[in-house]
Structure 1
């Protein structure tokens, strides 16, 4: 079968690699976002998907706007059986949606968490289950009919990086399954009454206070390494764990100083903190930080 692939980040790249390795699937073209400047030196860097496609000798297209008439006309000349879309980052116009069945791999159990940050939202909400949904795309945002959902459990200490990796594997396997068995699946409409949405993560969302230990820990799981979590003072909490969620404490008060960490109370619950990073400084052991600040048990971490 002939497939046009659309995607940009590493999540999409792993799916593309799986498709390329399958003898029954022929990737006839890859669409990805334009190269972007990265790092302090603003080095123009190609998306992971582009690198993989070029190594495999696949034609790569990087339109700034997929909706432009010339871009659409060019795409419609490419004969294909399916279009696979995974974290592409652009809206597909109706003409493209009509060109071939467009199958999207979304990292949530739709209609839950439509939008840009479903993996982070799973952790922010403390969900015990998530998955990948293969759906037929329509003109809405993640609103298309569902073909198949693959679910996985989420441990209560899972971090976003490992969840991302596991969901990528699920998505890769699901893509192959749906492409090869497409005719055996009956599309099912999403229940709009159950729909929830999530937006692109911003740096401001990493700000925390010691109100709920569970909430702080969930943000830590979802936002490490970026944007990270930090206090009003700008102090970043780099390595923490959840102690418990039941106790009542003064917000931010240091309850105990241990050999390599401190226990900090929250209005609800407590956290163990191992390392921090003051503004404009390197990450350090939390004991070095509190010793430098000359604070200890009964003082407030800030």
Structure 2
């Protein structure tokens, strides 16, 4: 927005929090950039009530904007899905988890409801077969910036006529850690999607094992129990296979799965998830 020549009256972002093992508090990335640009920063939405601005722009704020604030300052929101599909907190993750072929970004009006406002413009993009949530999110940020640049060039008055969302809505609730656990009775395709979310995990010999990268693998015709390790390949549901590429043992750094296997030397029939 600054590069496009807009005057930013106030930046509202989350409070500083602990972001490192040293225990020191650090600002959010949004706050850090705002301070570098010399912009005023607040952690309270109520401070917007004292701002004389034309329009508010919301991006991944993660909280409902109170009606008293919206009554004072109209707002638009960049939402990372093709609404009304995946309203809510984790649209990128759910698009991957459910195998959506495409997703996108919508520029929408902010209302009191959860992502229910009319839409000014949307731009779609294909979801890559092996694209992670972080990779997809970074691409959507670029798409969203382009939407803002085009449709806010003349400020609020230049916004296109909004249209109501059409279709059956679906909801993208926050992904909890338990939903990132790999259940080996599920098909490998589903497990690959969970891995693409980031921070997926299983267990081995009673300890947590992060699975940071994985790929599909051809079945060999045998049918050992789900979770059984055959080299760097784990047996999944329906006889499918998942090849481990990068893992992170509990309390250790990330490493190639081949290096981890060389160290733990699984015995015949040993299984993940135990």
- TM-score of Structure 1 vs Structure 2, range by shorter chain: 0.7 to 0.9
Verify the 8 A CA contact 1:263 1:270 in the aligned structure 2.
yes
Query: What is the root-mean-square deviation in Å for CA atoms of aligned residues?
Result: 2.4
Of residues 193, 206, 223, the one that matches 2:180 is 206
Of residues 188, 201, 224, the one that matches 1:229 is 201
- TM-score, normalisation: structure 2: 0.87
Which residue is 2:123 aligned to? 150
- Secondary structure of the 1:164 match is helix
In 2, Cα distance between equivalents of 1:93 and 1:294: 56
Which residue is 1:267 aligned to? 237
Please give the per-residue CA displacement for 1:253-273, whole angstroms capped at 9, x wherever unaligned: 234x3xxxx222212311111
Change (3 A) 1:149 1:248: farther
Change (3 A) 1:187 1:207: same
Structure 1 residue 58 corresponds to structure 2 residue 39: yes
Please give the per-residue CA displacement for 1:222-254, whole angstroms capped at 9, x wherever unaligned: 1x2xx3322374222233112259978431223
Please give the per-residue CA displacement for 1:66-85, whole angstroms capped at 9, x wherever unaligned: 3xxxx2xx423322111111
- Secondary structure of the 2:105 match is strand
- TM-score, normalisation: structure 1: 0.79
In 2, Cα distance between equivalents of 1:130 and 1:297: 43
Which residue is 2:16 aligned to? 35
User: How do 1:154-193 and structure 2 match up within 5 A?
Assistant: 154-180=127-153, 183=158, 185-191=160-166
Which residue is 1:16 aligned to? none
Structure 1 residue 276 corresponds to structure 2 residue 228: no
Change (3 A) 1:55 1:254: closer
Verify the 8 A CA contact 1:209 1:231 in the aligned structure 2.
no
Change (3 A) 1:130 1:246: farther
In 2, Cα distance between equivalents of 1:32 and 1:61: 7
Structure 1 residue 44 corresponds to structure 2 residue 25: yes
In 1, Cα distance between equivalents of 2:218 and 2:69: 51
Change (3 A) 1:254 1:44: closer
Of residues 201, 215, 228, the one that matches 1:253 is 228
How many aligned positions are there?
A: 266
Verify the 8 A CA contact 2:152 2:159 in the aligned structure 1.
no
Q: Using the TM superposition, give the Cα deviation of residue 110 of structure 1 relative to its aligned residue in structure 2, in angstroms.
A: 0.8
Verify the 8 A CA contact 1:110 1:195 in the aligned structure 2.
yes
Structure 1 portions without partners, runs of 5+: 1-18
Structure 2 portions without partners, runs of 5+: none
Tell which deviates more after alignment, 273-282 or 83-92: 273-282
Change (3 A) 1:61 1:290: closer
Change (3 A) 1:34 1:242: same
Verify the 8 A CA contact 2:75 2:110 in the aligned structure 1.
yes
In 2, Cα distance between equivalents of 1:162 and 1:189: 30
- Secondary structure of the 2:200 match is coil
